[in-house]
């Protein structure tokens, strides 16, 4: 995981523990005061939200405790690996992707998961290599133009 991704997950965990958890507890308390819990939609909705929050906290705690943080700025080389920013040519257009951990991917921002078909096809390649990759949108032919670690 990159340092940025690690920081984002830590911030989400902090928010869930310090903001969302106390807020949902208050909502449950208010709903309980309304009486008859069997037909209290606010209570049931709040309990469901509480279950989601607690599950997400557990998930984030686990991921952060096992995370290996790799700063791409400390890496170098011409071959594509985790943390690389890769520019590829597809026909006459160039696209740039950063290869990140699964919890950090955001295709709209150009961050693709190391487990994605595209990233798996690019890993180990260097500028000038051609890559054929099968994606949900069909087969694509790409040429690696540049590999950088930032």
148 close to 78: Cβ distance less than 8 angstroms: no
Instruction: Dig out the tokens for 103 from the structure.
Output: 């919890």
Domain boundaries for CATH 1.10.287.180 within the chain: 3-66
Instruction: Dig out the tokens for 25 from the structure.
Output: 């507890």
Q: If the chain, 150 residues long, is cut into consecutive pieces of 10 residues, what is the mean pLDDT of each piece?
A: 92 97 92 78 90 96 92 86 94 94 91 94 95 88 94
Model pTM?
Answer: 0.75
Domain 72-149: give its CATH code.
3.10.50.30
Q: Which residues pair with 113 in a beta bridge?
A: 100
Q: How far is CA 42 from the centre of its chain?
A: 31
pLDDT tens for 82-117 read 999 999 999 899 999 999 999 999 989 999 999 999
Pairwise CA distance, residues 125 & 131, whole Å: 8
Domain boundaries for CATH 3.10.50.30 within the chain: 72-149
Domain 3-66: give its CATH code.
1.10.287.180
Instruction: Dig out the tokens for 100 from the structure.
Output: 């990140």
The dihedrals phi and psi of 141, each to the nearest 5 degrees, come to: -115, 120
């Amino acid at each position: 995981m990159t340092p940025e991704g690690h920081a984002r997950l830590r911030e989400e965990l902090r928010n869930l523990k310090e903001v969302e958890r106390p807020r949902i507890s208050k909502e449950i308390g208010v709903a309980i005061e309304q009486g008859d819990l069997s037909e209290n939609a606010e209570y049931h909705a709040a309990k469901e939200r509480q279950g989601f929050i607690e599950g997400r906290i557990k998930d984030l705690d686990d991921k952060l405790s096992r995370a290996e943080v790799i700063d791409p700025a400390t890496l170098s080389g011409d071959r594509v690996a985790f943390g690389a920013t890769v520019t590829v040519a597809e026909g006459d257009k160039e696209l740039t992707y950063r290869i990140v951990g699964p919890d950090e991917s955001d295709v709209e921002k150009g961050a693709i998961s190391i487990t994605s078909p595209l990233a798996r096809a690019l890993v180990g390649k260097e500028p000038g290599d051609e890559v054929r990759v099968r994606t949900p949108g069909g087969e694509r032919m790409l040429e690696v133009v540049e590999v950088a670690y930032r």
